[in-house]
Structure formats: structure tokens, C-alpha cells
Structure 1
Amino acid sequence: MRKVVAGWRAAGKTVGLVPTMGALHAGHLSLVEATRKAGADHVVVSIFVNPTQFGPNEDLSKYPRQEALDLERLGEVGADLAYLPTVGEIYPDGFATMVVPSGTIVADLEATFRPGHFAGVATVVAKLLIQVAPDIAAFGEKDYQQLLVMRRMARDLDIPCRILPVPTVRDDHGLALSSRNAYLTPEQLAVARRLNKVLGEIARGLMHVEEGNARLLQAGFDAVDYLGLRDAETLDAPVEGRARRVLAVARLGSVRLLDNMAVD
């Protein structure tokens, strides 16, 4: 992979990276397209189901894997290189160094419900950024807290890469696309499509957060891990005059549905 990238750089070309865990859908493919539009001459897509970001009771063993179909889809959108490292290549024997984010960005939200998750994400993404050395790396806004963590990590560690935010891709009903949506039954899918509608009403000032929480439970969600308004840059409590974001995770059976929207 490094030899191919070195050849591109020798020819004066710029490089983009799209880190993924596979099971690619239209949201992932939009990252490839956005990276090209942002100026990357060549795009590398990594596929690696990262064990260090999964908790002990999470779905690592069941996470969807479809390598052949993923490669076919990447070919259709013109990705230049698929990078599929093994666990042993990313975490060789004796591996003992982790990148552990701190500060307000990881004070709560996903960090509360998935302890250690962002250390796993930051570590693997730092390694991928070092291995590929891209000019641009694209991350979807759907995982908004993760996007902010990646931006902060690259800045704090002086990694010379632009972190590119890409808008969330949604289905015809507004549900944010996710590899884990494949776990939903048809009945659960109908309930799941209420999440973005509630977030939209809160974002437009038509509903308070407390009412939104009750609406989600009434709609059939089993639980709401969190639903709240935050500062869009720091994830602190919102401040008048600064951009805000409404973020939520709601549960349907074993599936955690994560979504967020910018506040008007």
C-alpha cells in the first residue's frame, strides 16, 4: 500500500483516505465521492473491523462482513485502492500503545455508554493516517462525536491531514444509513424511521428535548441512551450565538441507532 501511495506522490498527486469497517452502503460510498470533490487525486479505502473499539458485550463477532461485495462497490465508485490489513498487522504481538482522547468532547454521550470506544477508534485511525499518510481523510457526520474526536486528534498530534466532514446519507424516509440497520426487522425499521423526525422537530425548535424523549419511547423504541442539545464544536452545553447540534442514541432490541442534526 505504501509503495503504491509513494508512486502517486512522486507523480505529484494528492491522496485521500476513507477509513471503514466494511459492510459498505451508500453512506460509505458518498465519502469516496466527497474526498475526490475535496481535491484528492487518488482515494484509498481501508476496510478493517477494529476489535479495540468494541466493548466486551458488543457485536464484534456478528458485525456484518461482505468483502467481495465491498470491493465490487468500491470499483463502481472508482476508488483507487482498497487496503485490508489483518488484525495482526494493525495490532502485532506486543502492541502496547493506545491513543486515548480526553476533554469535553469525550466527557459523555457515546463515551459514557461505550467506555474505551474512542481510545480504540483514535488508535486505529492514528495508525491508518500514519500508514497511508493522506492529505484528506473523510468521516461522516452521522458519527458526529467521532468526527470531532478525529479532528481534535489530528490537530493535537500534528498529523498533517485535513479531516473532511461529510453530510449524513439517509434513506427515502430520512433514516440515517448504517451497517447495523441490517439487524432490524421490518417492524423495527418502521419504528427506527421516527428517530430522524423527532430530531428534525427539535432542530427546528418545534419540540423540546424532554418531549422528544417521550415521543421516542411512545413510538416504540425500547430505550433512549441520550437525547440532547450540545455546542457543535465542543459538545459542551449550548451557548447562545454558537452553532448547536442535537444528538441522540435510541435502542431497538440489540441495535443502537445513532443520529444527529444541526440546529437551525
Structure 2
Amino acid sequence: MGKWHASLITLATCAGALPAGAAFAQVARPEALPFGSAVPPEPASDEILVTARRRDESRQTAPIALTAVDGAALARTHVDMIADLGAIDPSVTFSAANIGSSTANLIVRGLGTTGSNRTFEGSVGVFIDGVYRTRAAAALQTFVDIGEVQVLRGPQGTLFGKNTTGGAVLLSSERPSTDRSAGFVDASYGSYNALTLRAAENIPLSERAAIRVAGVITHTDGFFRDVTRGRRVNDDTTRAAKVQLLLDPAPSVSIHLIGDYTRSVGNCCYATSLITTGPLQPLIE
């Protein structure tokens, strides 16, 4: 089975406009003090600003039950997709029926849509760079150059619309920087020939423009062996890429273009039927 996804996101912000719905982490800046005032203490190193309410505010003072982590924390905890968020937020549970990736269920605080019907719309919204993903199957996609993840617990319909009764998950890409060139290459290998290759490069084009390119390749053998054919099933290979362009034509104007592509090919699906106890059960078995 193969599935692919491609999207193009255009973000433009001007002075006085509301910020995008994704959450960005940064060190809080102290406000200017009148002459002769005492110098306030330095902010705590873990104090970050979130935009869960479409405004910049401290995570500690935001009146929302939320969890916010940056890309470094995701790497340390090996959170590679939304299905792994339970490692950093125990209120999040994830399940995917073994009959296709489109039957994923995302649940926050025990609230969410469950079932294997592909037409179901989830009660926990997934937003990538402010764009709503209509199906929870997007949670199965491997993270590509994600800079921060926010989990908002509880109803979020006022600011994020429908399908957020149980909560919302906000993902923000690592933003291009005009400061300097930087990049990384990362590789990992695990059981069942699980191989992951990640790479990203930030390239400043000028003092007002920068481009960032990232990609990821993952492969894993199946967890089950089909004894009739002598081979494993449920294997999966995913390739994804993301390109971002940042333009700052004026101090009060910022244009952020994001394009991403994902293709996943898997040998799906392996399942075992549950036989109801009855007089014909021995014949079926």
C-alpha cells in the first residue's frame, strides 16, 4: 500500500496582525524599566513563550493545560511522530487499527474519536504550521524538521474550530535563520532493521532572506511473519522532504513559505480474526 502527501503553506505576518496558530518557543525578553529602577532577575532558563491563545505569553502563566517541548527535547526522548507523544505527555494515547493507516485514533485525557471507519473525523485536531490536518492518519507521518510541539488539553474550539473537543496538537517547523549556515545529519538503527536517516541545512541568502531544506528516510521490517509465504509483513518505507523560504522585505513584514512532501509505502496489512465461541469454532480453527 502506498500513500503520499504534499502541501504548500504560505505564512505572512505584518505589524499589528495576529500571530499564526502554531506555537514558537523563545526566551522571554524583559521589559524596559524606568530610570533608577532595580534590575529584575534573569528569567528562568526553561521559561518559554507560547501562542496557544494566538498571542505571546509565558507557558507558566497561560490559562491552558498544555505541554510544550522543543526539537531538542523531541530528539532526546526519541519522539519521531505524534504516535510517540505519550513519552512526553502521559495524557495522550494513540492507537491505529491494523487495517490501514487511515484508522488512527488520537485521544487526550480519555477524550477522542475511536473506531476503524475511515470517514470518522477526530475530536483531537492536528495542526502543522497552523494548517489543520483533517484525518488522524497524519499522526503516522514521521516528523520532518519540527522545532516545537504543543499539546493543548481540553476543548479548543474557540480558537481552533471544530474537531478540537478533546484538545489540539500544534506542530511548528524549525524556522529558517538569516544569522548563519548550519545543519546536521543523524542516523539510527534498531530492531527489525529499523533505519532512520535525517538531515537538514539552513542557508542564509542575504540579511533578509534564508532557505532551509530538510529530509528524512525511514525503513522497518514487518513485526509479523507470514508462514505461508515465508516472509515478514507490515514493513514500511517512508521518504519525506521539506523546503522553507523566509523573506523579511521590511522590518514589519515577514513572509514564510513552506512546502513539504511525504510518501510512505508499506506491505499492509496483517490481522487475525477473532472467532466467537460457539459449536462451529473447532471447525474454523
TM-score bucket of the superposed structures, by smaller chain:
under 0.3
Higher strand share: 2
With normalisation by structure 2, the TM-score equals 0.24
Higher helix share: 1
Larger Rg: 2
With normalisation by structure 1, the TM-score equals 0.25
